[in-house]
Amino acid sequence: MDVFLIAFLVFGLLVLFSCFFTVKQQTAVVIERFGKFLSIRNSGLQLKIPIIDRIAGRVNLRIQQLDVIIETKTKDNVFVKMKVSVQFKVIQEKVYEAFYKLEYPHDQITAYVFDVVRAEVPKLKLDDVFERKDDIAIAVKRELNEAMMAYGYDIINTLVTDIDPDIQVKNAMNRINAADREKTAAEFESEAQRIRIVAKAKAEAESKRLQGQGIADQRREIARGLVESVEVLNNVGINSQEASALIVVTQHYDTLQAIGADTNSNLILLPNSPQAGSDMLNNMVASFTASNQVGEVMKNTPKRIKKKNDHTSTDYNPSDTSNPTEEV
């Protein structure tokens, strides 16, 4: 008797405890009675009738993510693999539809993603697929929302998280990008080289201008010094020809002195002897004297009338620029 009583009490306790169950946060529990839908219980401690009522299933109300890998081709016949991430959740007010109307929601969402992506991507070239991936994601979300709302699912967002073309296509794209960057680099290098050349040419031109100006100033001062030297020599009774010759000889020896003062100079002047300076002076004085005499003779020579069509040396004076006339 005691054994049956203990067994009955144990059974009664089990039945009593089976009346209570808990539901986690962001979860909904579907209760059935004799196989028929009874109610939906939300989070907290809940009560059901043992044996008669049972928990048919639990529905997750949190946001879930489904990653779909799709292989399709573009308008320019390039095959690509795309990864589309779909974020969705069950609408709390439509737990019944989500639990009873759709048995495999992930397969249903995957099918719609395949359908939309394979309808949109073949309209675009490969470059446009990368640039307009957001448009593809929006199209997927719009199509899924229209289809899945009736089943109690809300599509939060869709993201095209990866676009992976064939390895050969990626290598070709990398080569194109590298060639384009090399072209741009070459253009910049050419422009930099041109700027350097122009700047160098301007610097050289300015240097030559300043150098020429310096040489001109130097020669102007040398000429002024020579004039002063000639005037000084004229004051002591030396004529201009002798003074000029003396100055040239003096500069000749100054040049020799400057060359000899340079310890690294290996210049040899041949011939070069003390008699050479005297000969130079005499030759220059004689040449200046002869030049003056020739000039005086040409000044004193009367002009002759040139005969037309007669250009003999006796009738032609090089210094005469008059027009030929007819002989009377």
All structural domains of the chain with their residue ranges: 18-60, 64-165
Give the pLDDT confidence score for residue 85 in this predicted structure: 93
* Sequence-distant (≥ 6) Cβ neighbours of residue 74 within 8 angstroms: 80, 121, 122, 124, 125, 126, 128, 129
Give the 3-state secondary structure of residue 19.
coil
pTM for the whole thing?
Answer: 0.52
Radius of gyration of the chain (CA): 57
Whether 114 and 153 have beta carbons less than 8 Å apart is answered as no
Per-residue model confidence (pLDDT) at position 91:
92
Q: Rounded to an integer, what distance in angstroms lies between the CA atom of residue 260 and that of residue 252?
A: 13
Low-confidence ranges of the chain (pLDDT < 70): 1, 8, 226, 230, 233, 236-249, 252-253, 256, 259-260, 262-263, 265-282, 284-285, 288, 302-328
Q: Which CATH class is domain 64-165?
A: alpha beta
pLDDT of residue 66: 92
Q: List, for residues 134-181, the tens digit of each pLDDT value.
A: 998 999 999 888 888 889 999 999 999 888 888 887 788 788 888 888
